[in-house]
Amino acid sequence: MNRGWIQEYCAGILALGMVGAGLGWAHEQASAQTSEQTSAQTSAQTTAQPPAAYQPKFPGDPARSESEAQALGYMRVVLRAESAYKKRHSEYADSLASLAGTGTFTKRMAHTTERGDYTASFRPNHDRANHDGFVLTMTPKKMDSDHRSFYAEEDGVIHGDDQKAADLDSPKVK
Protein backbone atom coordinates (compact mmCIF):
# COMPACT_ATOMS: atom_id res chain seq x y z
CA MET A 1 0.00 0.00 0.00
CA ASN A 2 1.02 3.56 -0.56
CA ARG A 3 2.22 5.30 2.60
CA GLY A 4 0.68 8.64 1.57
CA TRP A 5 -2.71 7.04 1.08
CA ILE A 6 -2.59 5.50 4.59
CA GLN A 7 -1.71 8.89 6.10
CA GLU A 8 -4.61 10.57 4.26
CA TYR A 9 -6.94 7.79 5.34
CA CYS A 10 -5.91 8.16 9.01
CA ALA A 11 -6.15 11.95 8.81
CA GLY A 12 -9.67 11.61 7.42
CA ILE A 13 -10.72 9.30 10.23
CA LEU A 14 -9.19 11.69 12.79
CA ALA A 15 -11.02 14.64 11.21
CA LEU A 16 -14.33 12.78 11.30
CA GLY A 17 -13.76 11.91 14.96
CA MET A 18 -13.05 15.55 15.79
CA VAL A 19 -16.16 16.72 13.94
CA GLY A 20 -18.25 14.11 15.77
CA ALA A 21 -16.80 15.15 19.12
CA GLY A 22 -17.49 18.80 18.33
CA LEU A 23 -21.09 18.04 17.38
CA GLY A 24 -21.55 15.99 20.56
CA TRP A 25 -20.18 18.84 22.68
CA ALA A 26 -22.45 21.38 20.94
CA HIS A 27 -25.47 19.11 21.47
CA GLU A 28 -24.59 18.71 25.16
CA GLN A 29 -24.31 22.49 25.59
CA ALA A 30 -27.67 23.04 23.87
CA SER A 31 -29.29 20.37 26.07
CA ALA A 32 -27.85 21.95 29.20
CA GLN A 33 -29.21 25.38 28.22
CA THR A 34 -32.63 23.91 27.44
CA SER A 35 -32.60 22.06 30.77
CA GLU A 36 -31.67 25.25 32.64
CA GLN A 37 -34.43 27.20 30.89
CA THR A 38 -36.99 24.47 31.63
CA SER A 39 -35.85 24.33 35.26
CA ALA A 40 -36.14 28.12 35.58
CA GLN A 41 -39.62 28.06 34.03
CA THR A 42 -40.73 25.23 36.32
CA SER A 43 -39.31 27.04 39.34
CA ALA A 44 -41.13 30.25 38.36
CA GLN A 45 -44.37 28.32 37.90
CA THR A 46 -43.92 26.54 41.22
CA THR A 47 -43.34 29.75 43.14
CA ALA A 48 -46.25 31.47 41.41
CA GLN A 49 -48.77 28.76 42.32
CA PRO A 50 -50.07 28.32 45.87
CA PRO A 51 -49.44 24.90 47.38
CA ALA A 52 -52.10 22.34 46.56
CA ALA A 53 -54.59 21.51 49.29
CA TYR A 54 -53.86 18.32 51.20
CA GLN A 55 -55.58 15.26 49.75
CA PRO A 56 -56.56 12.74 52.47
CA LYS A 57 -54.85 9.36 52.10
CA PHE A 58 -57.84 7.32 53.30
CA PRO A 59 -61.41 7.91 54.53
CA GLY A 60 -61.26 9.64 57.93
CA ASP A 61 -57.60 10.71 57.50
CA PRO A 62 -57.01 13.22 60.34
CA ALA A 63 -53.90 14.79 58.78
CA ARG A 64 -54.04 18.43 57.71
CA SER A 65 -50.93 18.32 55.51
CA GLU A 66 -48.51 15.93 53.83
CA SER A 67 -46.08 16.49 56.73
CA GLU A 68 -48.71 15.54 59.29
CA ALA A 69 -49.64 12.46 57.26
CA GLN A 70 -46.01 11.33 57.32
CA ALA A 71 -45.67 12.01 61.07
CA LEU A 72 -48.88 10.14 61.86
CA GLY A 73 -47.83 7.28 59.60
CA TYR A 74 -44.52 6.98 61.45
CA MET A 75 -46.36 6.96 64.78
CA ARG A 76 -48.71 4.21 63.61
CA VAL A 77 -45.77 2.06 62.52
CA VAL A 78 -44.08 2.53 65.91
CA LEU A 79 -47.32 1.79 67.79
CA ARG A 80 -47.90 -1.43 65.78
CA ALA A 81 -44.26 -2.47 66.32
CA GLU A 82 -44.59 -1.89 70.08
CA SER A 83 -47.75 -3.98 70.17
CA ALA A 84 -46.02 -6.85 68.34
CA TYR A 85 -42.92 -6.49 70.55
CA LYS A 86 -45.09 -6.66 73.70
CA LYS A 87 -46.78 -9.87 72.45
CA ARG A 88 -43.42 -11.47 71.75
CA HIS A 89 -41.46 -10.29 74.83
CA SER A 90 -44.19 -9.61 77.45
CA GLU A 91 -42.92 -6.03 77.82
CA TYR A 92 -42.58 -2.91 75.71
CA ALA A 93 -39.31 -2.03 73.99
CA ASP A 94 -37.27 0.58 75.82
CA SER A 95 -35.81 2.15 72.66
CA LEU A 96 -36.56 2.59 68.99
CA ALA A 97 -33.44 0.55 68.19
CA SER A 98 -34.97 -2.40 70.08
CA LEU A 99 -37.98 -2.23 67.76
CA ALA A 100 -35.94 -2.50 64.55
CA GLY A 101 -37.11 -5.52 62.59
CA THR A 102 -40.44 -5.72 64.43
CA GLY A 103 -43.37 -5.47 62.06
CA THR A 104 -42.58 -2.88 59.41
CA PHE A 105 -40.31 -0.84 61.68
CA THR A 106 -36.82 -0.85 60.16
CA LYS A 107 -33.30 -0.13 61.39
CA ARG A 108 -33.29 2.92 59.17
CA MET A 109 -36.41 4.26 60.90
CA ALA A 110 -34.73 3.75 64.28
CA HIS A 111 -31.47 5.32 63.12
CA THR A 112 -32.62 8.96 63.20
CA THR A 113 -35.25 10.93 65.04
CA GLU A 114 -35.43 13.50 62.22
CA ARG A 115 -38.62 12.74 60.30
CA GLY A 116 -39.03 15.49 57.68
CA ASP A 117 -40.70 18.51 59.28
CA TYR A 118 -40.87 16.62 62.60
CA THR A 119 -38.58 15.31 65.30
CA ALA A 120 -39.55 12.02 66.94
CA SER A 121 -38.98 11.40 70.62
CA PHE A 122 -39.30 8.03 72.33
CA ARG A 123 -38.78 7.07 75.95
CA PRO A 124 -39.78 4.23 78.23
CA ASN A 125 -42.48 5.12 80.74
CA HIS A 126 -42.10 3.11 83.93
CA ASP A 127 -43.91 5.69 86.07
CA ARG A 128 -47.02 3.57 86.50
CA ALA A 129 -47.41 1.01 89.25
CA ASN A 130 -46.88 -2.55 88.00
CA HIS A 131 -46.93 -1.33 84.43
CA ASP A 132 -44.32 -0.74 81.82
CA GLY A 133 -44.95 1.52 78.88
CA PHE A 134 -43.56 4.16 76.57
CA VAL A 135 -44.15 7.70 75.35
CA LEU A 136 -43.83 8.63 71.69
CA THR A 137 -44.00 12.24 70.52
CA MET A 138 -43.70 13.97 67.17
CA THR A 139 -42.74 17.62 67.50
CA PRO A 140 -42.92 19.87 64.44
CA LYS A 141 -39.91 22.04 63.65
CA LYS A 142 -42.42 24.84 63.03
CA MET A 143 -45.83 24.70 64.68
CA ASP A 144 -48.64 26.12 62.57
CA SER A 145 -52.03 25.05 61.21
CA ASP A 146 -50.36 22.38 59.03
CA HIS A 147 -47.99 21.08 61.72
CA ARG A 148 -49.57 19.95 64.99
CA SER A 149 -47.57 18.17 67.68
CA PHE A 150 -48.51 14.56 68.47
CA TYR A 151 -48.32 12.32 71.54
CA ALA A 152 -49.03 8.63 72.12
CA GLU A 153 -48.56 6.03 74.84
CA GLU A 154 -48.92 2.26 74.92
CA ASP A 155 -52.74 2.48 74.65
CA GLY A 156 -52.19 3.43 70.98
CA VAL A 157 -54.29 6.60 71.13
CA ILE A 158 -52.69 9.52 69.31
CA HIS A 159 -53.27 12.99 70.75
CA GLY A 160 -52.64 16.21 68.83
CA ASP A 161 -52.26 19.88 69.67
CA ASP A 162 -51.73 22.91 67.45
CA GLN A 163 -50.96 25.33 70.30
CA LYS A 164 -48.35 23.52 72.41
CA ALA A 165 -46.49 20.24 72.77
CA ALA A 166 -49.13 17.52 72.76
CA ASP A 167 -49.62 15.40 75.88
CA LEU A 168 -52.11 12.95 77.36
CA ASP A 169 -54.58 15.80 77.98
CA SER A 170 -54.50 17.00 74.34
CA PRO A 171 -57.45 16.17 72.09
CA LYS A 172 -57.48 12.72 70.51
CA VAL A 173 -56.68 12.65 66.81
CA LYS A 174 -59.49 10.84 65.01
| Sequential pLDDT tens for the chain (174 residues) | 566 666 666 555 655 555 555 555 555 655 555 555 555 555 555 555 666 799 999 999 999 999 999 999 999 999 999 999 999 999 999 999 999 999 999 999 999 999 999 999 999 987 755 568 999 999 999 999 899 999 999 999 999 999 999 999 999 997
Q: What residues pair up with 135 in beta bridges, in sequence order?
A: 123, 153
Q: What gap in Å lies between CA 78 and CA 70, rounded to an integer?
A: 12
84, 102 Cβ separation under 8 angstroms: yes
Closest CA to 69 of 163, 147, 151: 147
pTM, two decimal places: 0.69
Q: What gap in Å lies between CA 60 and CA 1, rounded to an integer?
A: 85
Sign of the dihedral defined by the CA atoms of residues 98, 103, 109, 113, in that order: negative
